[in-house]
Amino acid sequence: MTDRTPAETEHAEHAGHHEVGHIVSVKFLFATCAALLVLTMLTVAAAQVDFTKYGLPEMNIVVALAIAVVKASLVCLFFMHLFWDRPINAYIIIVALAFVGIFIAFAMTDTFEYRADQQQYERVELKGGDSKDVQTKLLELQTP
């Protein structure tokens, strides 16, 4: 009879069966890198498009975040080897990345609610800004 606990016995039985992690070919890694570079160029190209002409000012954010989620998914799946791990792990990380993108997109679209107010204040010009009347008015606005 041995002095080992059941856990030690189980560990001893599997001691010689350690496996090397999944090995990915260099060709596959370069293909993933090329896909990431193409998506980066797509992000830069999408940033140059003015979607406000088409009545969709929020679309720049949506497109940029969608591309970012795809890029993050590629990195997690292939560079972090989640593609070859249990499928639930890959599913969880992709869903989490998608929700982060959705939450940021919703938060950013709220900023467009106040864009008209911001533009209105940017267009204000003070004529005769050095005059005494303007200086008095500015002091009135600054006092609580």
Does residue 9 belong to any structural domain of this protein?
no
* Tally of domains within the chain: 1
Does residue 121 belong to any structural domain of this protein?
no
Does residue 4 belong to any structural domain of this protein?
no
Question: Confidence class of residue 115 from pLDDT cuts 50, 70 and 90?
Answer: low
Is a pLDDT exceeding 90 seen at residue 37? Answer: yes
User: Residue 66 burial by CB count (10 A; 0-12/13-18/19+): exposed, middle or buried?
Assistant: middle
Does residue 8 belong to any structural domain of this protein?
no
Residues 6+ apart with CB under 8 A from 39: 67, 70, 71, 74
- Higher pLDDT: 21 or 90? It is 90
Range of the domain at 43: 23-112
CA distance 51 to 59: 6
Could you tell me the two tokens for 97?
Answer: 């990345």
Could you tell me the two tokens for 128?
Answer: 């005769």
H-type alpha helices, 23-131: 26-48, 59-74, 87-109, 115-122
Q: What is the mean pLDDT of the chain?
A: 78
What is the per-residue pLDDT for 12? 55
Q: What percent of the chain has pLDDT over 70?
A: 69
Does residue 82 belong to any structural domain of this protein?
yes
Q: Which of 23-37, 85-99, 101-115 has the lowest mean pLDDT?
A: 101-115
- Higher pLDDT: 69 or 140? It is 69
Is a pLDDT exceeding 60 seen at residue 1? Answer: no
Does residue 6 belong to any structural domain of this protein?
no
Let me know: does 107 contact 100? Beta carbons within 8 Å.
no
CA distance 19 to 4: 24
